[in-house]
Amino acid sequence: MTFAPNQQLNCCIAWLESSVTEHHRQKVFRVIPQNDEQVEIINSLSNHMQVDFWQPDSVTLVRPKMQVDFRVEADKSFEVENLLKENGVEYRVLIDNLQAALDAQFDSKVRTTGHSYEKYNNWETIAAWTADIAAQNPDLVSRSVIGETYEGQPIYLLQVGKSGENKKAIFIDCGFHAREWISPAFCQWFVKEAVETYGKDTVLTTLLNNLDFYVLPVVNIDGYVYTWTNDRMWRKTRSKNAGSVCTGTDLNRNFNAGWCTIGASDNPCDSTYCGSAPESEKESKALADFIREHLSTIQAYVTIHSYSQLLLFPYSYTYSLPSNYAELESIARAATKQLTSLYKTKYTYGPGATTIYAAAGGSDDWAYDQGIKYSFTFELRDTGRYGFILPESQIKPTCEETLLAVKYIANYVLEHLY
Ligand SMILES: [Zn+2]
């Protein structure tokens, strides 16, 4: 093990210090606009003050009857409440004091300052973990670098599985959106389960004997680092945009799947900015290059996001249904049933466009159009009580239940290789 003893602690103190002023007394509101007029009020609200949309991803995606969660600066929350009240828009305060919620997210009982599967690990710790887990399990895990980020960080990929001839593979990635911390936690958990239960859990053992799993623990490394050092609520990459003061591209709008046609923004200052071109980001390019190079083996693509408790499949960039819609629908139904069986966590499933909203440039649609016919997006816990700042005490149950669904999908794929 190569843990730097105080690495994580130092990081957390720095993180707390930098975020104290920033998020103090900020609030997260939930509104369900009843009609176009009320959608208009939310629109005008976001035009007049800094509003950070948690769900949907952008104000442009807000429609009547949709659950809308957004974060407001402390000094503006009174104004927002008044505006909503005056216009008869019903609202709830989901998080009354964001800083208190941010402090409460580190509620893990685990007492280590190094890597832990039941804590949120910073990038340094995760990077060291990728090396350690490969070194400790040479017969099951190997690490490679598939590219580097805008800021020059190596993008690590773990190949997990027993070596064998002509094996097919499943690709799983985490950490597209920087603030969705539960996502990288799942990728780490998945690899842990693989190495700890190999030879014990019959389903997982069969899977690892017959398939390889390509696990990309954090795609948007620069953004993830930034959520630890500067702004916990950051979503996009950290690339500079020519001719704009605003930073970053939404990686999940940056793929060549109806790119920037719907549910994405061409304004670099928006949280759903699609980038200057498909795969303009080094991270999406590295991921897409890897998948293109391994298309003959990759049978399924699984991408992990949060939050909302959804299992989505293509399409999101069009309302048209994928050709194997019935099959994807039945896989999603069975996978979510497995997931729910453990802790009764309710999931909704369906094609992205009709289940949440139309949004172009997503990696799941892109992978599907490359010919990977089993393509899924998970939106993990919760449904808004904590949103992106899910407490560490929920990492274990969230990962356990999600693993059941992923195992179901992988097993289905193994029985339906193509
Ligand atoms: Zn996301």
Cis bond before residue 382 (omega within 30° of 0): yes
Name the pLDDT band for 21 (thresholds 50, 70, 90): very low
Residue 286: CB partners within 8 Å, gap ≥ 6?
146, 147, 148, 155
The pLDDT assigned to 5 comes to: 43
Going from the Cα of 381 to the center of ligand 1, the distance in angstroms, rounded, reads: 12
The pLDDT assigned to 12 comes to: 52
Going from the Cα of 255 to the center of ligand 1, the distance in angstroms, rounded, reads: 14
pLDDT tens profile 352-377: 999 999 999 999 999 999 999 999 99
pLDDT tens profile 188-201: 999 999 999 999 99
Name the pLDDT band for 48 (thresholds 50, 70, 90): confident
Distance separating alpha carbons of residues 109 and 395, to the nearest angstrom: 12
- Say if residues 363 and 313 touch (Cβ distance below 8 Å): no
Torsion angles phi and psi, residue 393, rounded to 5: -60, -15
Pairing of strands 211-216, 154-160: antiparallel
Going from the Cα of 177 to the center of ligand 1, the distance in angstroms, rounded, reads: 5
DSSP-derived secondary structure letter, 321:
P
Higher pLDDT, 279 or 47: 279
CA distances from 200 to 170, 203, 208, 319, 397 (A): 21, 9, 12, 43, 20
Going from the Cα of 164 to the center of ligand 1, the distance in angstroms, rounded, reads: 34
Going from the Cα of 135 to the center of ligand 1, the distance in angstroms, rounded, reads: 31
Write down all domains in the chain, each with its CATH number in brackets: 25-96 (3.30.70.340), 123-415 (3.40.630.10)
Distance separating alpha carbons of residues 301 and 320, to the nearest angstrom: 20
The pLDDT assigned to 188 comes to: 98
Going from the Cα of 180 to the center of ligand 1, the distance in angstroms, rounded, reads: 6
Mean pLDDT of the chain: 94
CA distances from 66 to 58, 69, 290, 346, 386 (A): 13, 10, 36, 18, 18
pLDDT tens profile 315-366: 999 999 999 999 999 999 999 999 999 999 999 999 999 999 999 999 999 9
Name the pLDDT band for 111 (thresholds 50, 70, 90): confident
Q: What is the mean pLDDT of residues 61-78?
A: 92
Distance separating alpha carbons of residues 316 and 58, to the nearest angstrom: 15
Distance separating alpha carbons of residues 185 and 395, to the nearest angstrom: 7
Going from the Cα of 237 to the center of ligand 1, the distance in angstroms, rounded, reads: 12
pLDDT tens profile 148-182: 999 999 999 999 999 999 999 999 999 999 999 99
Distance separating alpha carbons of residues 305 and 320, to the nearest angstrom: 23
Distance separating alpha carbons of residues 38 and 267, to the nearest angstrom: 24
Q: Catalogue the long-range contacts made by 258-262 (C-beta closer than 8 Å, 24 or more residues apart).
A: 258/317, 258/318, 258/360, 258/361, 258/365, 259/360, 259/361, 260/360, 260/361, 261/317, 261/360, 262/317, 262/358, 262/359, 262/360
CA distances from 320 to 106, 264, 315, 354 (A): 42, 18, 7, 10
Going from the Cα of 213 to the center of ligand 1, the distance in angstroms, rounded, reads: 21
Going from the Cα of 49 to the center of ligand 1, the distance in angstroms, rounded, reads: 24
Spot the catalytic one: 281, 379, 392, 401: 379
Catalytic site includes residue 180? no
Name the pLDDT band for 227 (thresholds 50, 70, 90): very high
DSSP-derived secondary structure letter, 216:
E
Name the pLDDT band for 22 (thresholds 50, 70, 90): low
The pLDDT assigned to 25 comes to: 82
Going from the Cα of 302 to the center of ligand 1, the distance in angstroms, rounded, reads: 13
Higher pLDDT, 406 or 13: 406
Going from the Cα of 57 to the center of ligand 1, the distance in angstroms, rounded, reads: 8
Laid out side by side, the sheet with 141-148 consists of 141-148, 154-160, 211-216, 168-174, 298-306, 374-380, 310-313, 348-351
In this predicted structure, the answer to whether residue 404 has a pLDDT above a threshold of 60 is yes
In this predicted structure, the answer to whether residue 132 has a pLDDT above a threshold of 80 is yes
Going from the Cα of 306 to the center of ligand 1, the distance in angstroms, rounded, reads: 6
